[in-house]
Structure 1
Amino acid sequence: MKIIVTGASGLVGNAFLKEAARRRHELIAVSGTREATLPPGARSRQIDLSETAAIEALILEEFPDIIVNCAAISSPAAVEADPTKAEKINVALPRHLAMLANHLSARFYHLSTDMVFDGSQGPYRSTDAPNPRNLYGQTKMLAEREVLKFGKTFATVLRIAIITGNSPGGERSLHEKLFKQWAEGKRTPLYTNELRQPLGVDNLAEVLAELCERPSLHGLFHWAGQDRLSRYEIGQRILKHFDLPEDLIEPIEASDDRPLDLTLDLHPLISKLRTPPLSFADQLAAMDPPVLCRAWHAAMTGQATDAPPPRERFVKGRDF
């Protein structure tokens, strides 16, 4: 199948490109200012995704079977700093992509977030009403509605949890952001009462690829990892995995104005896929010290700074 991937240079987009290439799909990787890292056989296009005419011209030229949208301004702080740009990327872009997909009878897959919920009563089902606490969550909630409205039966929205894994530049995922703070000499405060459900990026890529190959599965779904952990527990386990001192993180309690439980109920999708959710232990096993912090990690632990060989992706229960 011919698949156009927007946001291809990001953490999720890059992982999806690798997985879709492994399954021998024809890929067009669309990125903005940062060029995507391409697997063999993929083609690349750099387009300003806030300009709908350019992406529309590409899609009408290529006539894809599937569009996968991994593009987003995903930092709540960045959304607050530039709400106009956030509306273009987080709302207008997916709406336009959904309309184009419907016009071409192409399937459309859009990524949303657990932050569409207020965190007062997790784990959340896919049928629960969103109630975001910040502007980022509001843009993602609006995008969900637009995608399902204009994409009609060709659209799927997948709400996902906080992402773990190894990014191409070593600065995009959860443990990489923590490493950056630690390497800068900062002690990181992490909430003891804010529950999340970390999701391995390679596992997410496999789920997206499987959905692309299962046209009967469409609508609104949730996906995350197996384990419900506080942010502080996540930090503790990352430190232990990398043999780092426990005092690099500080336990603090979140106030009631934060979303305290953003965990997700994975039904009904979990019963329909061959790809299972991963435990956090399995996700830790796939994490490498970020490239930008490797020398610091070696100095802290006495370990070699040479980059380890590429890991085989861990996929529990793979049968294909």
Structure 2
Amino acid sequence: MKILLTGASGLLGSAFAQAANRRGHEVIGLVVSYSGKVDGLATQRTLDLADLNALESLTLELFPDAIVNCAAISDPGNCDADPDSSRQINVAVPQKLALLSRHLFATLIHISSEQIFDGKAELYYRDSQPSPPNEYARQKLESEQRVHELAAEFATTLRLPLLMGNSLSGERSLHERLFLSWAAGKPTPLFTDEYRQPCLVENAAAAMVELCERQDLKGVHHWAGEKCLSRYEMGQRLLQHFGLPESLIQASERGEDPRFAHRQARLALDVAPLASKLKTRPQAFADQLDALIVPKPARAWFNSI
């Protein structure tokens, strides 16, 4: 299968490239400014995704069997600061890809987020009512709606949670950002009252490859790890896994800082419907930890303690 992948140098995109390559698929990856090599790609192309005409021309030239959209402006602060630019990537690009998938009769896998929910429910199901609390979440919800309005018979939206993993830059994922903070000697408060259901990118990527290969799983699906954990518990378990002192993190609550009081308290996803249909299984957090490495920018600090 020939797969066109956007966001190929990102945390999730690079994991998908390798997973799809292992399954024997030809992956053509689009990057914006990354100059290094992304493992797993048969071809790597540089393209400004905001140029929708160029995106259309290249996609029609390549004529893929499937399109996987991992590209996003995912930092809520960036979306709030420049909603027009983020909307171009978060809404206009998936809308264009949906039109192209319909034109080419190609499968479309669009990545969305648990952030579309308000965090007030104990568990969110595929048909739970979204209530996006910020600009990023509103854009992701609109992207879902546009994709399925335009290409319902070809599209699968996969809502994903907080992602764990080893990025190409060593600076993208949760554990990498924590290591960089620790290496810089910065205090690291983690919330005891903010719960997420973390998932390893390789695990999510394996599920995405299966979705590319299946024609009977269109629509909206949820995927995540086995358990919901507080950010503080995740930090504690990271420290234990890497043999680091507990003093590197501090227990905190969202309400103690007005900048974070609006953040969702609990985002737990019901993954049972999709898990019952895939060979890939949701992972325990301990198994996710086993896949993590000390990020390169923090190795000198780690080796010195």
TM-score tier (shorter): over 0.9
Counterpart of 2:162 in structure 1 is 162
Q: Is the 8 A contact 2:20 2:209 kept in 1?
A: yes
Counterpart of 2:212 in structure 1 is 212
Q: CA deviation at 1:40?
A: 5.6
Counterpart of 1:77 in structure 2 is 77
Which sections of structure 2, spanning at least 5 residues, go unmatched?
256-260
Separation in 2, partners of 1:249, 1:101:
46
Which sections of structure 1, spanning at least 5 residues, go unmatched?
301-320
Alignment of 1:30-45 (within 5 A): 30-35=30-35, 37-39=37-39, 42-45=42-45
3-state secondary structure, aligned to 1:185? coil
3-state secondary structure, aligned to 1:131? coil
Q: Does 1:282 align with 2:291?
A: no
Counterpart of 2:300 in structure 1 is 295
- String of CA shifts for 1:266-309, please: whole Å, max 9, x gaps: 13101000100100000001110001100101112xxxxxxxxx
Separation in 1, partners of 2:122, 2:89:
28
Q: Is the 8 A contact 1:187 1:247 kept in 2?
A: no
Q: Is the 8 A contact 2:29 2:41 kept in 1?
A: no
Separation in 1, partners of 2:209, 2:27:
12
Q: 1:36 to 1:12 in 2, by over 3 A?
A: farther
Q: CA deviation at 1:70?
A: 0.3
Q: Does 1:8 align with 2:8?
A: yes
Counterpart of 2:258 in structure 1 is none
Counterpart of 2:46 in structure 1 is 46
Q: Does 1:257 align with 2:253?
A: no
Counterpart of 1:147 in structure 2 is 147
Separation in 1, partners of 2:200, 2:136:
22
3-state secondary structure, aligned to 1:98? helix
Q: Is the 8 A contact 2:17 2:41 kept in 1?
A: no
Q: CA deviation at 1:216?
A: 1.1
Q: Is the deviation greater in 72-81 or in 192-201? A: 72-81
The residue type paired with residue 295 of structure 2 is P
Counterpart of 2:95 in structure 1 is 95
3-state secondary structure, aligned to 1:61? helix
* Count of aligned pairs: 300
The residue type paired with residue 182 of structure 1 is W
Separation in 2, partners of 1:46, 1:91:
20
Q: Percent identical across equivalent pairs? A: 49
Alignment of 1:223-234 (within 5 A): 223-234=223-234
Q: CA deviation at 1:27?
A: 1.3
Separation in 2, partners of 1:268, 1:10:
27
TM-score by length of 2: 0.96
The residue type paired with residue 291 of structure 1 is K
3-state secondary structure, aligned to 2:263? coil
Q: 1:183 to 1:108 in 2, by over 3 A?
A: same
Q: CA deviation at 1:13?
A: 0.5
Counterpart of 2:104 in structure 1 is 104
Counterpart of 2:178 in structure 1 is 178
- String of CA shifts for 1:247-276, please: whole Å, max 9, x gaps: 111111123632101111113101000100
Q: Is the 8 A contact 1:7 1:69 kept in 2?
A: yes
3-state secondary structure, aligned to 1:226? coil
The residue type paired with residue 159 of structure 1 is R
Q: CA deviation at 1:41?
A: 6.1
Separation in 2, partners of 1:139, 1:179:
30
3-state secondary structure, aligned to 1:49? coil
Q: Is the 8 A contact 2:50 2:89 kept in 1?
A: yes
The residue type paired with residue 158 of structure 1 is L
Q: CA deviation at 1:35?
A: 3.6
Q: CA deviation at 1:115?
A: 0.4
Q: 1:126 to 1:40 in 2, by over 3 A?
A: closer
Counterpart of 2:197 in structure 1 is 197
Separation in 2, partners of 1:253, 1:177:
19
Counterpart of 2:129 in structure 1 is 129
